[in-house]
């Protein structure tokens, strides 16, 4: 971690004080260290001074990277010779350097030791009540020492590994449990923040359609979160990968219903709203029965009140980012709904939410064009039509396509909330009505594109 340190000397009270805060935070009102100090008693009239400080605690090394010394002088004494005043000022600077050295050593060794031990103890106390604390050695053995052969994926935060843990203790029968271990390996500042932010969200979530936390580990400078392992992998692997068989229609419809239930839970069933901020097919995990579970809450945030976050760096994946979110940086439940709509369109069409290229095409705009020209069902995944005819329910497919278009409406207030989405999928509400904008958009709120091709037909979307 990086810290800012303030060293202050009060020449009237003859006291030196030190203040420490996280890098970027303002100076705290309470000093972490203060002691009486009379400068003239500490050094001779002439001295050479160097400043260096470091400390080690719990296997971690800390050092003072830079210092800033400010000497606030008392007004000149009338009649005092100039040379004496210069000598006094020089002596004061030398003494202050020495004092800073002493105080810095004490602060680094005492404050950081106290802070680390207290923070880790508080983390242990909180997490032990909501999730199982796992030994690092057990996780290391479960993943074959984080073998590359067991890596399931990786991102900016680190990597995820498949593992096998043995459950049961105190003489109880042990059972094998397949797990997915998220190992945070980003730079030290970032990974601690990522770990805390994710665990603050996930420990509150208990739902059949949300991947559950099995345990955690904060040991040997390693930060690990252990989740349920879903044996059928992620949804994108089945939609766009080479699994050898297509997801049947009934399974697709069921997955949409599962994800909607999980999203409804975090939006409407908790004391505080949780915004996922990264809904996409690779974050939908499938169990042995192909039940869909919402996973990867690394970018999620807990918000109160109206369910809006404050402006922050835009998170998510292109094609799933609502245009107003891309412009303002403010995430809301309706920006999650937009991402859900893009996901629904992927599931029904078998195409990616954003097709890259010189002129990227949003899937929502492509499907909207089919609807405008009265042939909406032509957007359905071609693999669901065989020589025997349609292998899908036309009414359900139309319902989901209209739902996807409504959820990705350019106007956030016209998007349905998840309460209505669940009922539309459950067929207790009719499919939504969809109006069309005059223009189609480039991804994430760029300049408009013409809504049709030059020959008056539906724009081409050749890539999948």
In this structure, the answer to whether residues 110 and 21 fall within a common structural domain is: yes
In this structure, the answer to whether residues 277 and 303 fall within a common structural domain is: yes
pLDDT band of residue 57 (cuts 50, 70, 90) is: very low
- Is the pLDDT reported for residue 384 higher than 90? yes
In this structure, the answer to whether residues 7 and 114 fall within a common structural domain is: yes
Query: Per the structure, how many domains does the chain have?
Result: 3
Low-confidence winner among 35-39, 196-200, 289-293 (lowest mean pLDDT): 35-39
- Is the pLDDT reported for residue 347 higher than 80? yes
Q: State the average pLDDT over residues 303-320.
A: 78
Catalytic residue among 194, 258, 278, 365: 278
Last residue of a domain, one of 205, 228, 251: 228
Work out the percent of the chain whose per-residue pLDDT is above 90: 46
**pLDDT tens across 349-372, in order?**
999 999 777 888 899 999 999 999
**CB 109, CB 57: distance < 8 Å:** yes
- Is the pLDDT reported for residue 257 higher than 80? yes
Low-confidence winner among 44-58, 187-201, 250-264 (lowest mean pLDDT): 44-58
Active site residue 278: yes
In this structure, the answer to whether residues 330 and 183 fall within a common structural domain is: no
**pLDDT tens across 430-459, in order?**
999 998 765 545 455 443 333 333 333 444
- Is the pLDDT reported for residue 101 higher than 90? no
Residue 408's pLDDT is 97
In this structure, the answer to whether residues 29 and 95 fall within a common structural domain is: yes
3 state DSSP class of 261: helix
In this structure, the answer to whether residues 330 and 380 fall within a common structural domain is: yes
pLDDT band of residue 113 (cuts 50, 70, 90) is: low
Confirm whether residue 183 is marked as ligand binding: yes
Report yes or no on 358 lying in a domain: yes
In this structure, the answer to whether residues 301 and 339 fall within a common structural domain is: yes
Last residue of a domain, one of 95, 120, 145: 120
- Is the pLDDT reported for residue 173 higher than 60? no
In this structure, the answer to whether residues 52 and 159 fall within a common structural domain is: no
Report yes or no on 145 lying in a domain: yes
Residue 96's pLDDT is 56
Domain with 398 in it = 235-449
pLDDT band of residue 200 (cuts 50, 70, 90) is: confident
In this structure, the answer to whether residues 58 and 114 fall within a common structural domain is: yes
In this structure, the answer to whether residues 327 and 426 fall within a common structural domain is: yes
In this structure, the answer to whether residues 153 and 28 fall within a common structural domain is: no
Last residue of a domain, one of 180, 208, 228: 228
- Is the pLDDT reported for residue 374 higher than 50? yes
Report yes or no on 464 lying in a domain: no
Residue 29's pLDDT is 77
Whichever domain contains 160, its CATH number is 3.30.200.20
**pLDDT tens across 395-431, in order?**
999 999 999 999 999 999 999 999 999 999 999 999 9
Report yes or no on 125 lying in a domain: no
Residue 128's pLDDT is 53
H or E element at residue 89? helix 82-106
- Is the pLDDT reported for residue 52 higher than 90? no
Whichever domain contains 336, its CATH number is 1.10.510.10
């Amino acid at each position: 971690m990086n810290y800012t340190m303030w060293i202050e000397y009060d020449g009237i009270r003859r006291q030196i004080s030190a203040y420490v805060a996280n890098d970027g935070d303002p100076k705290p009102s309470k000093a972490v260290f203060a002691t009486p100090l009379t400068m003239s008693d500490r050094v001779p009239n002439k001295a050479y001074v160097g400043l260096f400080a470091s400390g080690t605690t719990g296997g971690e090394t800390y050092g003072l990277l830079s210092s800033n010394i400010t000497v606030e002088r008392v007004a000149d004494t009338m009649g005092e010779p100039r040379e004496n005043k210069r000598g006094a000022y020089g002596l004061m600077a030398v003494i202050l350097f020495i004092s800073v050295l002493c105080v810095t050593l004490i602060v680094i060794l005492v404050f950081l030791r106290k802070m680390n031990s207290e923070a880790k103890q508080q983390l242990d106390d909180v997490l032990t009540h909501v999730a199982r604390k796992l030994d690092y050695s057990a996780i290391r053995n479960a993943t074959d020492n984080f073998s590359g052969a067991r890596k399931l994926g990786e991102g900016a935060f680190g990597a995820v590994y498949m593992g096998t843990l043995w459950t049961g203790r105190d003489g109880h029968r042990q059972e094998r449990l397949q797990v997915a271990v998220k190992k945070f390996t980003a730079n030290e500042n970032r990974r601690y923040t990522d770990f805390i932010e994710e665990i603050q969200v996930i420990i509150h979530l208990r739902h059949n359609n949300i991947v559950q936390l099995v345990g955690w580990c904060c040991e040997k400078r390693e930060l690990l979160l252990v989740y349920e392992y879903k044996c059928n992998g992620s949804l994108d692997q089945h939609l766009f990968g080479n699994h050898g068989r297509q997801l049947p229609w009934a399974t697709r419809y069921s997955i949409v219903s599962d994800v909607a239930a999980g999203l409804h839970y975090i939006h409407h069933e908790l004391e505080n709203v949780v915004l996922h901020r990264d809904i996409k097919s690779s974050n939908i995990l499938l169990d042995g029965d192909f039940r869909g579970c919402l996973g990867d809450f690394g970018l999620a945030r807990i918000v109160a009140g109206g369910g809006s976050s404050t402006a922050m760096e835009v998170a998510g994946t292109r094609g799933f980012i609502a245009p107003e979110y891309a412009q303002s940086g403010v995430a809301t439940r309706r920006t999650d709904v937009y991402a859900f709509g893009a996901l629904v369109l992927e599931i029904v069409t078998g195409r990616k939410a954003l097709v890259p290229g010189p002129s990227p095409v949003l899937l929502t705009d492509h499907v909207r064009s089919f609807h405008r020209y009265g042939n909406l069902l032509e957007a359905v995944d071609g693999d669901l039509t065989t020589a025997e005819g349609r292998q899908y329910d036309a009414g359900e497919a139309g319902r989901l396509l209209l739902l996807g278009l409504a959820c990705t409406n350019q106007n956030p207030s016209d998007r349905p909330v998840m309460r209505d989405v669940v009922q539309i999928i459950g067929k207790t509400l009719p499919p939504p009505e969809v109006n069309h904008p005059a223009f189609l958009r480039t991804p994430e709120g760029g300049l408009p594109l013409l809504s049709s091709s030059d020959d008056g037909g539906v724009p081409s979307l050749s890539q999948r």
